[in-house]
Amino acid sequence: MFTKIINRHFFFQLLGMTILITFILLGILLYGNLVKHDEYLLQAMSVSPYSFLQLSFLLIPYALSFALPFGFMLALLLCYGKWSSSNEILALRSLGNGIFSWGMPCFILSFLVTLISLYTFLQWAPMSRAEFDQKKAAIVWSNINLLLETEKEIEFDLEQNSTGLTNKNLATLSDEPIHRVSLSVGSMEQNRWSNVRILLLGENGILLRIINSQSAKIERNQLNSQLILNLKNVDFESAIDSHNSNLFVSFEEWNKPIIFNLTPKGNNLNVKRIGFFELLELSSSDNIKKYDAKVLIHKGYVLGTSSLFLSLVLLPISITHGRKETISNLAIGIFLSVLYYSSITLLEEFSFQYSNLLFLWIPNSLCFIIGTYLLYKFDKVGFSYSK
């Protein structure tokens, strides 16, 4: 009965500290993500504060996927280190309670954190990032009209933001490489623009060709990531300062739509933006990205279970060094946690290079072996407190 009360007290203290540290880390990581996407967030703010909040909230799951397990591990180090230094652990050991008794709150909470982390890594975070990309593209699309009304002109970088087909089609219109396209519109009405002018620019902004269209039908793909122009009543001419002979051609309709990507790689499958079941289906298909899907699934499992495996190592470390070395104890735990997450990135590259998924499981395997040994040594051999 006494042991249950103590364990309940430990559990809720550990839970409270985990929530507190997780919120602090979540704020830090979320701020970093907001700064990274500040351009789109400012555009969202210009549309409406609600759009800004929507985009901001969609970044929370990704930040939480790292803040939660790391927050739990820091809470473990702080709580058990404090209990060890205040002799609470010593009192429990003197009553015959082993580490698997008063350490149970740590193992139970690590299991709960693992379940939440697995869901966040494999399903919630990638789906939220996919929705973030879609809403970001929608905001860029909605801002095109706003930009055209205020700036009267927008530019697209063909080398980065155009599809291969459009790039090839426009490249045939000039002997010199086309680097950028400048688009201006006289008037806009729903999905139809009037008096459209497209300037084809070469290196250093040199004007190469001019496309004038009396009207253009505007379309967008399902993800709002592409601007599609179907030109009518077109005049095509060379620039006045062009080194080539003057060219002027008129025709009723441009033979193929001109497509500009509003976000890079808008029509490529991004395996990092699909949920667990889609990844599972992709990993068993004949798709060229099936191995990428397998790596992401295993990586999600490894990172999702990190709190469970790392707790096996950090719990005995926090007790052993907790009496008079709280700061060094915390530093050791942070170093091990950072080393763990850094190694995942390196081992992911090895998994691709050598086509072996077992590389990803090396950190968890090492944590299990070392942690089991430390727990057994602590419980059976014991340790001496330094004065």
Which of 262, 45, 266 lies closest to 144 in space, CA to CA?
Answer: 262
How confident is the model over 318-362, as pLDDT tens digits?
Answer: 887 544 556 776 777 778 888 888 899 899 999 999 999 999 999
How confident is the model over 201-239, as pLDDT tens digits?
Answer: 887 778 888 888 888 888 776 555 677 888 888 888 877
> CB count, 10 Å around CB of 140?
19
Residue 337 confidence (pLDDT): 80
Residue 168 confidence (pLDDT): 60
Lowest mean pLDDT among 105-119, 325-339, 341-355, 365-379: 325-339
CA distance 69 to 26: 11
Residue 245 confidence (pLDDT): 55
Give 279: exposed, middle or buried? Use CB within 10 Å, 0-12, 13-18, 19+. Answer: buried
Q: Which CATH class is domain 164-261?
A: mainly beta
Residue 383 confidence (pLDDT): 43
Task: State residue 51 phi and psi, 5-degree precision.
Answer: -65, -40
What the block records as the tokens of 220 is 């967008």
The torsion angle over the Cα atoms of residues 337, 342, 345 and 347, rounded to 10 degrees, is -80
Average pLDDT, stretch 298-323? 86
Residue 21 confidence (pLDDT): 93
Predicted confidence band of residue 143 (pLDDT cuts 50, 70, 90): low
Residue 364 confidence (pLDDT): 94
Residue 158 confidence (pLDDT): 67
Lowest mean pLDDT among 180-184, 309-313, 338-342: 180-184
pLDDT exceeds cutoff 90 at 111: yes
Residue 115 confidence (pLDDT): 96
pLDDT exceeds cutoff 80 at 6: yes
Percent of the chain surpassing pLDDT 70: 81
Domain ranges of the chain: 2-141+270-380, 164-261
How confident is the model over 7-39, as pLDDT tens digits?
Answer: 888 999 999 999 999 999 999 999 988 888 877
What the block records as the tokens of 321 is 């060094």
Predicted confidence band of residue 161 (pLDDT cuts 50, 70, 90): very low
CA distance 341 to 147: 42
Residue 163 confidence (pLDDT): 45
Region class of 236: left (phi > 0), else alpha (psi between -120 and 50), else beta = beta
pLDDT exceeds cutoff 90 at 83: no
How is 355-386 classified by DSSP, letter by letter?
Answer: T-GGGGGHHHHHHHHHHHHHHHHHHHT-----
Residue 356 confidence (pLDDT): 92
Q: Residue 213 belongs to what H/E stretch? A: strand 207-220
Residue 240 confidence (pLDDT): 57
Mean per-residue pLDDT over the chain, rounded: 81
What the block records as the tokens of 129 is 């990032």
Average pLDDT, stretch 309-315? 91
Average pLDDT, stretch 127-150? 74
Average pLDDT, stretch 48-58? 85
pTM of the model: 0.72
According to DSSP H, which parts of the chain are helical?
2-36, 38-47, 49-58, 60-85, 88-94, 99-102, 104-119, 125-150, 158-161, 164-171, 276-283, 290-304, 306-320, 326-354, 362-380
